[in-house]
Structure 1
């Protein structure tokens, strides 16, 4: 057996481990990237709430100043620290405090922190991204934690919110990538231990078995697992045992076959001498000699035929078919004429005129002929060959009125050297017929068998050339 070179994964990207880590990274990055959107929205919401809280502190500082007045430059500095353009504080008593130049400002976008949610924040960020001009203003409304009676309204620039969102995006993506790295490392290690290493062990066992099938020291691959990998290990273990048993049997059969071939070769020479001697006995006028001579010649003929067919079967390799269009009716007529010369029997050809198939004429003649000769050896005096077309199959039936096939051999009919009729038959006819049917893409089977009726069916694809 020619040993094929084993394919090795020399490059990292061609190995199963590399694919596992790449796929795990892709999956975790995808999942955590989806997680980044809520993080960005959360960072933006927190930033806006901090601006509201800082603006409230600015208002408190203004109220605490003498007469509630603060220098405009100081207001700008405090509003700049809060990162807002202007502040409006509405209290429960109806009083309103406004801080900032040119108040109230013209607003381009509005957002209420009291009704904030993920979709609303993401929608605000998208609108702000499309309104990033220097004079675009967002009006934010919210409560101060602990002082729900106070409503704070701030005005911020779209540009400032987008800059903060970009910073939040960096942090969110960093968090996502870090999470993806941790998850992928864990996932990679888990798959390496539970999947990759066991598969590599099983693969190495298969390669070792291929290089030395007879080495029983390499046969134990069972890990005791009960999952799919464990099932594969058990199946491979059983396959190893079956193949080793087959190899041992094949080796023994090869030795026996070689010995039998040599014995049969010598036996054919001996039988040839007997045949020559029988020619001399045919001229004898002794009644006893003439009485036993036909049986002797028939027995020698059967022995010679058994030796010939056995040697031919041993030498014959896979069937090599020569495909061409065959007139099945004509082929059957030729076959029946040959069989009539063997013994007088009623042979009926029910194959329709001009029925043709694509196949090997010699091999089909051989297969159908073996079925007819099998019927003759069963002492049939009427043999009928008929055909039926069922769906895309052509069924060729060979029926006879012989003694039938014994029950004990029905299950082994198509095995070599299993004779279904008389002792002395080589038992290769049905085996060869099966090989011919399989080579043509068909099947052969025993439909019915009993005293007075036996039917074999040879089923071939029809039309074969479609």
Structure 2
């Protein structure tokens, strides 16, 4: 949007608004850029002309708690500008974002010399923002408590699972010795790999609840990783009436193969659940970009519901799924970010959804 049409200027008389526009500095910043840190001096107000900014607070070592998102035609940083306090949160550009920056001094000068109605309008907007942010912060604290409980539960499950899983593996080894035909060997291989996957899935929930991941990185063929994933999951998807198509790229990636397979599983099964009750198609494709490798999981389902689109990767967010926990996409995002990558979603109602996983080269 153009600077002149931003709603912040609607608080002021035309002449005053024009003066503030002249004082604004417009700049486009890349995704993941930090605009300011908590505790820094509040020296300016920011207007969002395009893109999105995340406001967050520290929550443990290297973790941050999201308290608000600011989008196009909105503004942030006004509280510190008004009362002179330091920044009370960190601001990060979620995507490439165009901002207009107005320094604190001209804003205060205008407010001191303008009508009472203008001041009240600005204060009302600030109070409204504080109320929304407070509700969000309380919700995040509750979410953190839930994650603690999930971690405790996962720890207990891991302990209880190991013995029966060991028994299944021993029985599988005996079956392997007694029957050496190709079909039995194939079935034994699937059983062993799926048992290992059960254990690793619960361990990943435990790691997710703690906010840390232990990555066992190795250089892997992305095509081979995708083919192995299809080998383990294609039969189940076919029984659900879903066609799985691979479009691999001949590239090598330095990743934890087990955890990246978990990301694919969460994305594919999320699509499969969205396709429930209809014959569908899921395509996993890969391509090499300039400094990233992209894996895309695309389906022809109904798309992401509007009511959860902005919170899609947050824990416990789910909509319309029978028995859904709302953890699958949150875990996928955390694994991708542990690899130094990012995950994006594009979706249109009744035109399916596409999840793009982008990992750094090397």
Query: Which is richer in helix?
Result: 1
Please identify the structure whose Cα radius of gyration is greater.
1
Give the TM bin, normalised by the shorter chain: 0.3 to 0.5
The alignment's TM-score, normalised by the length of structure 1, stands at 0.36
